[in-house]
Amino acid sequence: MTRWGILATGHIAGRFAEDLKLVPDAELVAVGSRTAESAERFAHRHGVPRAYASWAELAADPDLDVVYVATPHAAHHEAALTCLRAGRAVLLEKPFTLDLATSRELVETAHAAGVFLMEAMWMRVNPLIRQVCELVAEGAIGTVTSVRGDFGAAGPFPPEHRMRARALGGGALLDLGVYPLGLAHLLLGMPDHVHAWAKISPEGVDENTGIILGYDSGAVATLSCGIVGATALTASITGTGGRIDLPEPFYRPGSATLHRPGAEPEVLTTELVGNGYQYEAVEVQRCLAEGRLESRLVPHSATLEVMALLDGIRAQIGVEYV
């Protein structure tokens, strides 16, 4: 039995708690928050035996095997460090932190302590995304020549909302853009050229951002994210021998369509249960059972490379978090 703790009590933490019930040999035994009231309310709602009024108290619980950190991303670094230094394995919500330097510190801390750490990038452990990657690797659409993806939220977000708060890592890029960027990285790796443009809000965060990744192989990725309009939330992967389309929401799809010249479109489907977070927990438990310090599906190298891309894009569009 793998004993889980959850650090934070917001919407995502609640959905993860629901999905954990679907995972064999998983038990949610503790929750931690910055206030006793919030922790106790969450514990009551989800049937959690122990509630802690601080992150440190949760991390110090010797009965925990792993902690899922679900705070807003501006707090990821501090929360994850608290757990890693206490010797707790960590599943950390995306984006890992606000920048590459603090992300690298977490990875180095985990390595030094011999503790498991994984980014909760659910897209990389989604069964259908994994199937698509296998098809691409097998040459089902030939050599990949382009990846397209968009993630735009309707809003409107008022000036006081965290999505517009620069100090909280607000804007579209870290919260939403990490998905199309992550998909491109998953399929094509690190680009050789990066070009980005954004409309910057009065608060200093990106409202609407376009990104082009270029590869010396000739491949391109055209990506967008925004907080000023709801986009289709779709993606497509084109190769020399066909195309795979991912419907809304592309980062957690229930189907995909394979198009090849001279053939009828082939629809790939999978039965998705729950909210989709359980696949992260299954991967974490598999890694812990095998004594691994990182996941093959969500390796530290991928997390750090995507964070490096995010840093470079922010530099181009002129967004700094303070």
Q: Say if residues 257 and 267 touch (Cβ distance below 8 Å).
A: yes
Residue 255 CA to residue 95 CA, distance in Å, equals 25
Q: So what's the pLDDT on residue 159? A: 87
Q: What's residue 202's pLDDT? A: 95
Q: In 3-state terms, what secondary structure has residue 227? A: coil
Residue 161 vs residues 72, 171, 233, 319: alpha-carbon distances, Å: 12, 10, 22, 17
- Burial (CB count within 10 angstroms: exposed 0-12, middle 13-18, buried 19+), residue 57: middle
Quote the pLDDT of residue 273. Answer: 84
Bridge partner residues of 288 (DSSP): none
Torsion-angle region of 304 (φ positive above 0: left; ψ -120 to 50: alpha; else: beta):
alpha
Give the tokens for residue 305: 């490379």
**pLDDT tens digits, one per residue of 144-198:** 999 999 999 998 898 889 999 999 999 999 999 999 999 999 999 999 999 999 9
pLDDT tens per residue across span 118-129: 999 999 999 999
Do the beta carbons of residue 77 and residue 102 sit within 8 Å? Answer: yes
Residues linked to residue 31 through DSSP beta bridges, in sequence order: 6, 51
pLDDT at 272: 83
The verdict on whether 94 is a catalytic residue reads: yes
CA 258, 259, 265 angle in degrees (round to 5)?
A: 80
User: Residue 242: beta bridge partners?
Assistant: 239
Q: Which of 9, 7, 115, 2 is nearest to 57 (CA)?
A: 7
Determine how β-strand 242-246 pairs with β-strand 235-239: antiparallel
Of 94, 124, 243, 252, which one is the catalytic site residue?
94
pLDDT of amino acid 286: 98
Q: Which regions in the chain score pLDDT beneath 50?
A: none
Residue 267: strand, helix, or coil: strand
Which of 225, 222, 224, 218 has its CA nearest to residue 239?
A: 218
The whole model's pTM is what? 0.96
With residue 245 as reference, give the H or E element that holds it: strand 242-246
Name residue 174's amino acid. Answer: L
Question: 67 near 91, Cβ under 8 Å?
Answer: yes
Cα separation of 4 and 16, whole Å?
Answer: 11
C-alpha to C-alpha distance for 173 and 27, rounded to whole angstroms: 34
